[in-house]
Chain A
C-alpha cells in the first residue's frame, strides 16, 4: 500500500519560494484552500492578496512578469481561465510572461459542482499558443511541481493536487519526460493526474488475467514529444486507451489521436473521460464511478478495445488498491 502524504504543496512551495526571491505568491481569496496560508503568515513580504478578482489578477501577474518577477498564481483551476480567459491570453500567454498558474482541484476532485470543476482546462490551455501544461499525479510530483514550473521559459499552467495523496513515484518531475510504469506488449494505457492511480490498479488486475499492459504516465502535456510516444504505440500489438480527469475532447485522448493520425498509425484508440458532459457535486470516488473515470471503467474500456470479456470485477480492483485512505475521505467544504 502506498504511503500517504499530507499537504505536500505547502512545504514545496515554501522551499522553492524562499530559494527564489523573484518568486511571488499570489492568492485570490482561496489561500488556505490552496495550502498557502502558512506561507502568507510566515512570509508576508513575498505574498500578495488580490481578492476575489481573477481578471485583474491575471493581467496584474502579467505586469509583475514584465517587472522581472515570477508570480505563482494560486486559486482553483477553473477560476484561472474561465472568467479571465481574455486576460490570460493577452497579458500572460501572448507576451510569454513567466507566470506560474497553480490550478487546484482539477476536474472532479472538488465536490463543488460545475462552477468549481475544471473539466476542460487542458483543452483550453492546449489550444493557447505559448502555454506549457503540467499535471501532478502523486505527492512526489506535487513536491516537484514548483521547481518544474519555474524552469519554464514562459507561462505554465499546472494541475495541482492538494490535501492527502499517495506517493506513487520516487523521482521528481522531469519536464517533457513521461513515466514508463509498465512496458507490456498488448495494450497501451496513457494517463495523467489522478487517473494514473486508477490505471495502476487496473494494470494489476489486467496482468492477473493475462493482458500485458504498457502504461505511461504524463506529467507534461504540452509541449509533447510525439516521437517517444510513437515508439510506445508501435510496441503494442493491440490498441491505445486513455483515461483522463477531463472531458474527452482536447485533453490527452485528443493528444494521442493527433499523434496517431499525424503519423498514420492504424490502431484503435479509446478515449475515456467526461463524455461531452458537465459533472455535478459529489465525492471524488462517487463522481469517478458515476462518470466512468475509475479503474473499473478502464478495464471495461479495455474489454471494448480488445473485443473480449476479461471478467475483472470491482472486487478484483478493490484488492489492487494503491491506497485505501483518501478515496473514502469525503471532501467537506472548499
Chain B
C-alpha cells in the first residue's frame, strides 16, 4: 500500500533534494549524511522493512514532554514506522544526528507531511535536530552513539521468545565501531544466537573530526565483526542491487551486519572541497553558499534554492 509508489532511486534522490534545500535555507546542516545514506534509508523504507501504516499524524505534533509519571500521554515517534504488531519490523536510527535524512525519508515514502521538515530544529517542535525518542520515526532514544545495536538485540531476543516474526533493524554509523559497546552487542547476539536483528552501517569513513583513519583507526571492520560472531555482508552503498543481494545473505543463529561503503559526497561532488571536514557543513561565506547552491542544484537536477529571506 505504501510501497512502490516511487522507485527507491527516486526516493533517494528526493531525500537528497530535501536535505539540500534545508541545508541551503539554514546555511548548513548534516548534508554529507544525505550523500552517504540516502539509498540505504530509501531501500529500508521502500523495500526491506515490513511496516504498517503510520499511527501518528502526518504533520508532527509539537513537543509534548519527556517520559515522566506526570506525562501519561507520552509516546515515542515509532508510530511513523507503523504499529507495534508481531509481524511488523522495527527500525532504530542509532546515529541520531542522521535525523534530518531520516525525516526526509519519511516524507519521501509518504509517512510524514513535508511540513514536518519545516519544523526541524524549531523551538517547541518534536522534529529535533538530534533525533529524540519523541521525534518522527525515532523509536528509542539514541544519539549517545553505540547503544542502538544493544537495544535492538534485546528487543529482538524478546520478540523471538514471544514468537513474533517481525525483525529488528538498526541503522548504524561507522563511528560506532570505536565504542566498545558495539562489540559487546555483537558478542551478545552471537552468544544468544539472535538472528532476527539486522543492521546496515553507513561506512563513510568519516566522523566529527574528519577521516576516521586520522582520528582513531578501526582496521578491518568486517574481520573484527566476524570474529565477534556476526555474519557480515558488504555492498556499495549507492548500488541498490548490491544492497538487495547483501541483505539476502544467510545468517542463521547470528546477526547480519551489512557494511554499506558510501561516498560522503555522492551526488554532490562539490562537497569534496570540504573534505575532510564533512560532519556538519556550515557554509563559510556567502560565496561558498552560492557556489554550493548552484553546483548541487545542478547535480540534483533542480533549480538553485532561493534562500534569501531564510537565515
Interface size, chain A (Cβ < 8 Å): 38
Residues in A with CB closer than 8 Å to B26 are 332
Residues in A with CB closer than 8 Å to B97 are 334
Residues in A with CB closer than 8 Å to B128 are 111, 113, 280-281
* A85 within 8 A of partner (CB): no
Could you mark each residue 60-77 of chain B with 1 if its beta carbon is under 8 Å from any beta carbon of chain A, else 0?
Answer: 000100111000000000
C-alpha spacing A114/B147, complex, angstroms: 14
Binds B, one of A47-55, A164-172, A222-230, A241-249: A47-55
Could you mark each residue 280-298 of chain B with 1 if its beta carbon is under 8 Å from any beta carbon of chain A, else 0?
Answer: 1010000000000000000
Nearest-Cβ distance from residue A12 to partner chain B, whole angstroms: 21
Q: A277-B66, A282-B63 are in contact. List 10 more A-B contacts (CB 8 A).
A: A29-B216, A30-B208, A111-B121, A112-B130, A113-B130, A114-B132, A115-B144, A277-B68, A278-B67, A280-B128
List the A residue with the shortest CB-CB distance to B180: A55
Instruction: Take A49-B209, A277-B66, A281-B132 as given contacts and tell me if A78 and B121 are in contact as well, using a CB distance cutoff of 8 Å.
Output: no
Residues in A with CB closer than 8 Å to B121 are 111, 281, 330, 332
Nearest-Cβ distance from residue A329 to partner chain B, whole angstroms: 11
Question: CB distance A50 to B216 under 8 Å?
Answer: yes
Instruction: Take A53-B180, A115-B142, A334-B280 as given contacts and tell me if A29 and B208 are in contact as well, using a CB distance cutoff of 8 Å.
Output: yes
List the A residue with the shortest CB-CB distance to B133: A114
Residues in A with CB closer than 8 Å to B215 are 29, 49, 51-52
Could you mark each residue 246-281 of chain A with 1 if its beta carbon is under 8 Å from any beta carbon of chain B, else 0?
Answer: 000000000000000000000000000000111111
Tell me the interface secondary structure of chain A in the complex. loop
Question: CB distance B141 to A114 under 8 Å?
Answer: yes
Interface size, chain B (Cβ < 8 Å): 41
A-side interface residues toward B, CB under 8 Å? Answer: 27, 29-33, 49-56, 78-79, 82-83, 111-116, 276-283, 286, 290, 330, 332-334
Nearest-Cβ distance from residue B66 to partner chain A, whole angstroms: 4
Question: CB distance A56 to B175 under 8 Å?
Answer: no
* B214 within 8 A of partner (CB): yes
Question: CB distance A52 to B66 under 8 Å?
Answer: no
Residues in B with CB closer than 8 Å to A279 are 66
Residues in A with CB closer than 8 Å to B178 are 29, 51-53
Nearest-Cβ distance from residue B289 to partner chain A, whole angstroms: 14
* B28 within 8 A of partner (CB): yes
B-side interface residues toward A, CB under 8 Å? Answer: 26-29, 63, 66-68, 96-97, 121, 123-124, 128-130, 132-134, 141-146, 175-176, 178-181, 207-209, 212, 214-216, 277, 280, 282
Nearest-Cβ distance from residue B131 to partner chain A, whole angstroms: 8
Can you name 27 A-B pairs with beta carbons within 8 Å?
A29-B209, A31-B209, A49-B209, A49-B216, A51-B178, A52-B175, A52-B176, A52-B178, A52-B207, A52-B216, A53-B180, A83-B181, A111-B128, A112-B130, A114-B66, A114-B141, A115-B130, A276-B68, A280-B132, A280-B134, A281-B132, A282-B63, A283-B123, A290-B124, A332-B282, A333-B29, A334-B97
Residues in B with CB closer than 8 Å to A50 are 216
Instruction: Take A49-B216, A53-B178, A277-B68 as given contacts and tell me if A112 and B141 are in contact as well, using a CB distance cutoff of 8 Å.
Output: no
Question: CB distance B214 to A49 under 8 Å?
Answer: yes
- Interface Cβ pair total, 8 Å cutoff: 114
List the B residue with the shortest CB-CB distance to A283: B123
Question: CB distance A52 to B179 under 8 Å?
Answer: yes
For A27, give its contact among B29, B66, B130, B209 (CB under 8 Å). Answer: B209
C-alpha spacing A334/B142, complex, angstroms: 16
Question: CB distance B123 to A282 under 8 Å?
Answer: yes
Residues in A with CB closer than 8 Å to B96 are 115
Residues in A with CB closer than 8 Å to B134 are 280
Residues in A with CB closer than 8 Å to B63 are 280, 282
For A29, give its contact among B27, B129, B141, B207 (CB under 8 Å). Answer: B207
C-alpha spacing A169/B215, complex, angstroms: 37
Nearest-Cβ distance from residue A93 to partner chain B, whole angstroms: 20
Residues in B with CB closer than 8 Å to A334 are 97, 130, 280
Nearest-Cβ distance from residue A229 to partner chain B, whole angstroms: 33
Nearest-Cβ distance from residue A133 to partner chain B, whole angstroms: 22
C-alpha spacing A96/B26, complex, angstroms: 46
C-alpha spacing A114/B130, complex, angstroms: 10
C-alpha spacing A290/B66, complex, angstroms: 13
Residues in A with CB closer than 8 Å to B29 are 332-333
Instruction: Take A29-B175, A111-B121, A280-B132 as given contacts and tell me if A333 and B282 are in contact as well, using a CB distance cutoff of 8 Å.
Output: yes
Nearest-Cβ distance from residue A108 to partner chain B, whole angstroms: 12
C-alpha spacing A31/B207, complex, angstroms: 11
Nearest-Cβ distance from residue B119 to partner chain A, whole angstroms: 12
C-alpha spacing A30/B298, complex, angstroms: 33
Nearest-Cβ distance from residue A193 to partner chain B, whole angstroms: 21
Nearest-Cβ distance from residue A119 to partner chain B, whole angstroms: 11
Question: CB distance A116 to B282 under 8 Å?
Answer: no
C-alpha spacing A115/B66, complex, angstroms: 13
List the A residue with the shortest CB-CB distance to B122: A282
List the B residue with the shortest CB-CB distance to A40: B209
For B143, give its contact among A55, A83, A112 (CB under 8 Å). Answer: A112
Residues in B with CB closer than 8 Å to A281 are 121, 128-130, 132
Nearest-Cβ distance from residue A117 to partner chain B, whole angstroms: 10
Question: CB distance B129 to A278 under 8 Å?
Answer: no
For A333, give its contact among B28, B145, B207, B214 (CB under 8 Å). Answer: B28
